[in-house]
Each structure stands twice: as C-alpha cells, then as structure tokens.
Amino acid sequence: MFITNSRGRRAAVGLAGAAALAFSLTACGEKESTSQPGGGPSVATSVDAALAAKVPDAIKSDGKILVGTDATYAPAEFMDTDGKTVIGFDVDLFKAVAGKLGLQAEFVPSTFGDIIPGVGSGKYEIGVSSFTVNPERKATAQMVSYFQVGTQWATKKGNAAGVAIDNACGKKIAVQKDTVQVEDITKRSKACTDAGKPAITIDQYAGQDQATTAVVSGKDDAMLADYPVGVYAVTQSNGQLDLLGDPYEAAPYGYVVGKDQTAFAEAVRDAVKALISDGSYKTILEKWKVQGGAITDPAINP
C-alpha cells in the first residue's frame, strides 16, 4: 500500500533519463498508440454517450480537453525522452477519462503554481498535476478526486546528515514550491524555533526534479514529496537516495475544474467511476506500480 496516513502535493520527480512508460488507449473506435518498454497490455476505453453529452459544448466543440500540467513530477507527469511528450500515470489515466467522454486530452506543460489560476482564467480546461485536495484549492476551483497518497521523505544515501522527520531542526530541506509539502515543512520549522532549536532551512524549487537534484548533489539534506514521487526518485537515483520513514497524512488527488463548470466536473467524476467499474483504472495504476493509491469513490470536492 502507498498509504499509511500520508498527504500529497500535489507534485513530483522527473529525473533525466527515466524510462518512459505508456499505454495504448482505444477511444471512439480508434487506437492511439505510444511506445512502452517491454510492451504490456493495452487499456481500452469506449465512449460513454451519456457522459459525453454532459460535457459543455464550449469544451467538447474542438474534440479535445486542454490540460494544464507540471511535467516535473514522475511517475505522475513528466517528460518522455523526446523532451516533448508528457507521460506518466496521471497522463494515462486522464487520457482514459477523456476517452470515456469521447475526447482527446492535450497536455500543456506549465509551472505548477500557475495551473489553478490558469483553469480559473480559461487558459486550461482542466488541471491534471497531482493536486492534493485541500480547503484552499476548493475555495477557488472544483476538485474531482481520483487517487490518494501521502508525503514521503528521502535523503542522500546513508542519511549522513542525520535527518529525522520529527526533528529536522537546523537541516536543509528541499521541497517544490506551491505544494502542500511547503506548508508541512514550514510548520515543522516553526515547531523547532518554538522549542528554542534552529529553524529548518527550507529550499523551495520550481520543479520537483530540481529539489531531487539538490539532495543528490548534497546541497540539501533531505526532501519531501508525494509518496509515489519519492519512491520513483529513489528508484531512479542509481543508489544515491534512500527513503526516510513511512508516508503519512493520506489525502486525495483531484482534477482541477473551473468553479462554474459543475456539469463538466460531474462528467469527469462519472468517467472515473466508469473506468473503475470496467477495470481500466486498475490496469493503468498497476502498470505504473501505483495501485496502492487507488480509490473506489471519486467525488467532487471531497
């Protein structure tokens, strides 16, 4: 399982040279294929006419959904080796959601902190970027839950700095800007100073890949990110990183939909439910080895 009682980032790690995984999706009777090391089963999604009818005309008129994403958060969303194609379990899963709605998903790389405002302004029709559902985000957008994870710490191999999750006072910790982990580590630093101990030096990076690199290089002593991201970073680090402790504070990820797009949010929620029912959801998560974050009850603003 991914979760003991963890929290999430959003956010994630896109390490250079990471192997690309992908799926074949069948939608509208046509097959869209992307390469996948070692092959693997395709995930077939058939259009649900009733759900497709719920999508507002302004969104479906061009046959696609414009998706804002921060492609630095492997294995959720990150760049393939071609430097142009966004891949990941988030990507494959939402492509399947779009397929249920009779549409294609077009992923547009963006800075993480700009995605929710971009959905609000109409720049993007949805945000898919490992967003943890929290009150602040629900105040400005509708969020459709589809996955659940917690926060995971990682250190340089061997943890020579002696970082402890509950006592990182005086240590240098890397996080991605605008993630829930910033709030987490800020609270921990305040607990340090309240106890008369040195504050935590919090280094915030635009991308999770940069935060990971800072730990690998020794610039920072540890990092915290969403559980699958932390595990993936350690796996891809060629023995340079270790996981620290267990994941904690589980919370759902949510697709970000405009505050005034209730019909679209309902269509997306019901598409996730349909993927769970037909087994496509499970197949996609298992292929990326993130099935521990599966949910059974997608909801709007859970």
Tens-digit pLDDT profile for residues 52-90: 999 999 999 999 999 999 998 999 999 999 999 999 999
CA gap 123, 273 in Å, rounded = 27
The confidence band for 43, taking pLDDT boundaries of 50, 70 and 90, is low
> Could you tell me the pLDDT band of residue 31, with boundaries at 50, 70 and 90?
very low
Instruction: Tell me which DSSP letter residue 5 carries.
Output: B
**pLDDT score, position 9:** 52
The helix (H) or strand (E) run that includes residue 276 is helix 262-278
What single letter denotes the amino acid at residue 3? I
- Distance CA(23)–CA(173), nearest Å, equals 35
Query: What's phi and psi for 255, nearest 5 deg?
Result: -70, 140
Question: What's the Cα-to-Cα distance from 78 to each of 74, 109, 248, 298, rounded to whole Å?
Answer: 5, 9, 24, 24
- Mean residue pLDDT across the chain: 87
Residue-level pLDDT at 12:
35
Q: What is the mean pLDDT of residues 37-47?
A: 53
pLDDT at residue 276, as a whole number:
97
- Asked if the model's pLDDT at residue 1 lies above 70, the reply is no
Identify the pLDDT of residue 38. 26
Dihedral angle computed from the Cα positions of residues 54, 92, 86 and 260, in that order, rounded to the nearest 10 degrees: 20
Q: Is the pLDDT of residue 41 over 60?
A: no
Mean pLDDT of 33-48: 51
Residue that is written with structure tokens 């269509």 in the block: 267
Rounded to two decimals, the pTM is 0.74
Q: Supply the pLDDT for residue 289.
A: 86
